[in-house]
Amino acid sequence: MKKAKIAKVILPIALEREFDYSIPDSFNLKPGSRILVNFRGITTVGILSETMSHSAIEKIKPVLKVLDTNPVLSQDTIEFARQLSKYYPYQFGEFLFMMLPGYLKKPKLTDLLCISKEKNEHAPQKLFIKAATFKVRYETWKKYAMDKLESGSVLILFPQISYLNEAKKIIEKDFPDLKVIHSYQTEKELYENWVSTRKNSLILGSRMAVFYYPHDLKLIVMEEESSQYYFQEEKPFYHLFDVVSILSKIKKADVIFGASYPSINTYNLISQQKLKLEEKEEHHKKINLVNIGEYKRQMISPVLVELLNKSLSLNQRNVIIWNKTGFGSYLACSTCGFIFKCESCSTFLKQSLIKNKGICPSCGSERDLSKICNLCNSGYIRSVGIGIERIEAGLKRIFPDIRIDEWEKRTEASKIILATSKILSYMYGSEKFDNGFFLDADYQMARLDYAATFNTYVYIKKLASFFKENLYVFTRNREHYLFKTVNEPWQKFYDIELASRKELKLPPFGIVAQITLRAPAEEKVFERSNSLFKNLSDKGFDVYGPLKEQPFKLRGKFRYSIVIKSKDEYHLRKEIKQIANKKSSRAIQMAIAIH
């Protein structure tokens, strides 16, 4: 047994363990400090988690250098990383190093102020504020934030930087000393903002800012909590709602979730009275449902033309929403039927009339198009299906004297504007429009996703607030419960959706995980996916797959997924962690999503 003083060191690697190093007598080490160590022959920055009097390892290397006069991470930050590694299938060290700015991941010396030990015995409160706009929600929690700033810090999180920037214009009128932290800042900017926000700060940030929380955190505000942008798709996977909930427990900080509509999981917590709801009264615009069942394969139906004529006669601005880019759905030979695909992906190419090229909607690559099929040398290449450019061309024939533009090229003079579903990214700006025409609600609901109906409902309800006059939703399926409840109190749709998910044991009444494998060699990735499928099936999990991802080949790599459903969250998370930590071929990459 080694009697010298021992440092337990955390390294930024995918191994579930800490490493022992001896501490030279001249070194004064405190947990949370960065140190330099020799790891497998490479000088590496590590973080001290604790010191011990003995080590079970006989021959250990010494700590090479102490980088911090005072610890840069607190004990609760270390505990935060531990809890995240228990919840998600990634290692303690990977999460802990996410809490250091890039500058501190390098062997730079620091002389930062000592971290004060905050004692907070306050039982954290959780509140959901439902209101149509950020401004209304902000006015609701502003006084609360002011009170918390008297004794600590407040962290306000946003799903998109464009949203953050618009909100900043409102918030800085009351809080001129606020700071901003997001991933598009330079390493220097990020480090300087991190240093200046260790205490008594109001911080606006994107999702990554939660890992840079101040030591005296008293309140977390998570705006638009149901946003898909809070989902971190790349390793290490996480969902911000879960991360905020874990941090709130550790720091005993209050949490305010805000949105125009809650996620289904959040509504379930509200129903169980685990989360308090504060709903602001608002005028709900009626959503106009347009039955187009009799107009087969007609996207520019007579009823759409009639509604546009009426609006144009009033000199109103109109937005057509159709979520398919390009001129058609794909390009095919008129003779042999060959369908043209991206050379890097398996995605069907779409024709862009503007560029006169074939465009890959997945990776963005472009391809020159010949007039004649190069496979049969006889048929011409035609665009099949309906894309937004085809709708634009059709509208220009019907309304030749009206200014019609794509969303990116719109001006004040544009009377008909064509946009995809990404239009909601702009709803936080000041620009407003009179009428909206949502043409492909049925297509969105038909997506191969158990959450497709819910996502379409929330999208329609948010879209309604984007327009001053009317939102028209075109559908061939008016008897669906989404459309039957879209103008009813919102809780009615949520209750039906919850009951459906409970019957099918879907979240929040079960857990669904998706493991996606990708590699240049299709055979290898299929074999590995099939092996996972059999292994999980033998252990009693409800497994589906291997399934070809769409697109099947992306950026030169084939993609297979398996989907696992279970009511036992603990055991499924444990199994997935073992899968994630198991060594496999470097040629095969893995992504894991848990819902």
Cis status, amide bond into 508, omega within 30 of 0:
yes
CA angle, 224 as apex, 223 and 230 as ends, to 5°? 90
Q: How far is CA 404 from the centre of its chain?
A: 33
Q: Are strands 416-419 and 467-475 parallel, antiparallel or unpaired?
A: unpaired
Q: In the chain, which segments carry CATH 3.40.50.300?
A: 126-279, 287-324+386-500
Select from 407, 384, 413 the least CA-distant residue to 320: 407
Where residue 579 falls among pLDDT bands split at 50, 70, 90? confident
Q: In the chain, which segments carry CATH 3.40.1440.60?
A: 6-105
> What does the block give as tokens for 396?
């220009």
CA angle, 34 as apex, 29 and 38 as ends, to 5°? 95
Mind listing the pLDDT tens digit for each residue in 249-279? 999 999 999 999 999 999 999 999 999 999 9
Rounded Cα–Cα distance for residues 125 and 349 (Å): 51
Q: 391 Cβ partners below 8 Å, 6+ apart?
A: 299, 300, 320, 322, 418, 439
In this prediction, residue 583 carries a pLDDT of 63
- Please report which helix (H) or strand (E) contains residue 566, including its range: strand 557-566
Select from 369, 387, 381 the least CA-distant residue to 327: 387
In this prediction, residue 246 carries a pLDDT of 96
Q: 375 Cβ partners below 8 Å, 6+ apart?
A: 333, 336, 338
Q: How many CB atoms sit inside 10 A of residue 248's CB?
A: 18
Rounded Cα–Cα distance for residues 419 and 100 (Å): 40
In this prediction, residue 577 carries a pLDDT of 84
> What does the block give as tokens for 110?
């620091």
Where residue 192 falls among pLDDT bands split at 50, 70, 90? very high
pTM, to two decimals? 0.88
Whether the predicted pLDDT of 458 surpasses 90 = yes
Rounded Cα–Cα distance for residues 53 and 8 (Å): 11
Where residue 2 falls among pLDDT bands split at 50, 70, 90? very low
Amino acid at 460: I
What is the percent of the chain with per-residue pLDDT over 70, rounded to a whole number? 97
Q: 383 Cβ partners below 8 Å, 6+ apart?
A: 326, 327, 328, 330, 331, 350, 351, 390
Select from 273, 323, 284 the least CA-distant residue to 493: 284
CATH topology of domain 287-324+386-500: Rossmann fold (3.40.50)
Query: Is the CB of residue 532 less than 8 Å from the CB of residue 513?
Result: no
- Please report which helix (H) or strand (E) contains residue 77, including its range: helix 75-87
Q: In the chain, which segments carry CATH 3.30.70.600?
A: 511-594
Range with the poorest average pLDDT among 76-85, 88-97, 160-169, 579-588:
579-588
For the chain, the farthest-separated pair of C-alpha atoms sits apart, in whole angstroms, at: 89
> What does the block give as tokens for 194?
């991190």
Mind listing the pLDDT tens digit for each residue in 406-434? 998 999 999 999 998 888 777 666 678 99
Where residue 3 falls among pLDDT bands split at 50, 70, 90? very low
Whether the predicted pLDDT of 105 surpasses 90 = yes
Give bridge partners of residue 319 from the DSSP assignment.
417, 436
Select from 18, 22, 113, 102 the least CA-distant residue to 74: 113
Range with the poorest average pLDDT among 23-37, 104-118, 446-460:
104-118
Higher pLDDT among residues 540 and 554, named by residue: 540
> What does the block give as tokens for 212?
């840079």
Q: 499 Cβ partners below 8 Å, 6+ apart?
A: none
Give me the DSSP letters along 91-120: -HHHHHHHTS-GGGGSS--B-PPPPP----
Class of residue 88 by CB neighbours under 10 A (exposed 0-12, middle 13-18, buried 19+): buried
What is the percent of the chain with per-residue pLDDT over 90, rounded to a whole number? 62
Mind listing the pLDDT tens digit for each residue in 365-377? 888 888 888 889 8
Q: State the average pLDDT for the chain.
A: 90
In this prediction, residue 496 carries a pLDDT of 97
Give the 3-state secondary structure of residue 357.
Answer: strand
Whether the predicted pLDDT of 4 surpasses 60 = no
Look up the CATH architecture of domain 511-594.
Answer: 2-Layer Sandwich (3.30)
Higher pLDDT among residues 90 and 517, named by residue: 517
Class of residue 368 by CB neighbours under 10 A (exposed 0-12, middle 13-18, buried 19+): exposed
**Residue owning tokens 């999180």:** 157
Query: Is the CB of residue 247 less than 8 Å from the CB of residue 80?
Result: yes
Query: Is the CB of residue 528 less than 8 Å from the CB of residue 584?
Result: yes
Rounded Cα–Cα distance for residues 564 and 393 (Å): 44
Give the 3-state secondary structure of residue 523.
Answer: helix
Mind listing the pLDDT tens digit for each residue in 302-349? 999 999 999 999 999 999 999 888 888 888 898 998 888 887 787 888
- 3.40.50.2300, 3.40.50.300, 3.20.20.70, 1.10.3720.10: CATH of 126-279: 3.40.50.300
CA angle, 364 as apex, 360 and 369 as ends, to 5°? 50
In this prediction, residue 453 carries a pLDDT of 96
Whether the predicted pLDDT of 535 surpasses 70 = yes
Q: Which residues of 521-553 are buried (b: 16+ CB within 10 A; e: fewer)?
A: eeeebbebbeebbeebeeeebebebbbbbebbb
Rounded Cα–Cα distance for residues 563 and 541 (Å): 10
Query: Is the CB of residue 576 less than 8 Å from the CB of residue 515?
Result: yes
Domain 6-105 has CATH 3.40.1440.60: yes
In this prediction, residue 260 carries a pLDDT of 93
Rounded Cα–Cα distance for residues 352 and 390 (Å): 10
Rounded Cα–Cα distance for residues 534 and 361 (Å): 34
- Please report which helix (H) or strand (E) contains residue 247, including its range: helix 240-251
Q: 208 Cβ partners below 8 Å, 6+ apart?
A: 98, 181, 182, 183
